[in-house]
Amino acid sequence: MRTIRCPECGKRFVGSDNIVMSLMNTLNHKECSNFHPKVILDEGTYKGITDKYSFFKDYRIVN
Ligand SMILES: [Zn+2]
């Protein structure tokens, strides 16, 4: 399983982290994000977002 790091704080996401996804399909922690609200495409937990979008399937948390 691959993981993604938050580009702002550098920490790897865990399943329960609250994250935001931009129009560019980049992920940031919600609390780290400096995205303008207009570029936020979706938000939720890391597990929820990676389960929802097929292009994140290699990054899903499986357990
Ligand atoms: Zn972060």
Counting the structural domains of the chain, the total is 1
pLDDT at position 40? 97
Range of the domain at 20: 1-63
**Residue for token digits 């982290």?**
17
| Distance from C-alpha of 34 to C-alpha of 32, rounded to nearest angstrom | 7
7-36 pLDDT, tens per residue? 999 999 999 999 999 999 999 999 999 999
Q: How confident is the model at residue 2 (pLDDT cuts 50, 70, 90)?
A: confident
Residue 44 scores a pLDDT above 80 = yes
pLDDT at position 63? 66
C-alpha 18 – ligand 1 centre gap (Å): 10
- Provide the whole-model pTM: 0.89
Residues 6+ apart with CB under 8 A from 60: 1, 47, 50, 51
C-alpha 51 – ligand 1 centre gap (Å): 20
Q: How many CB atoms lie within 10 A of CB 61?
A: 15
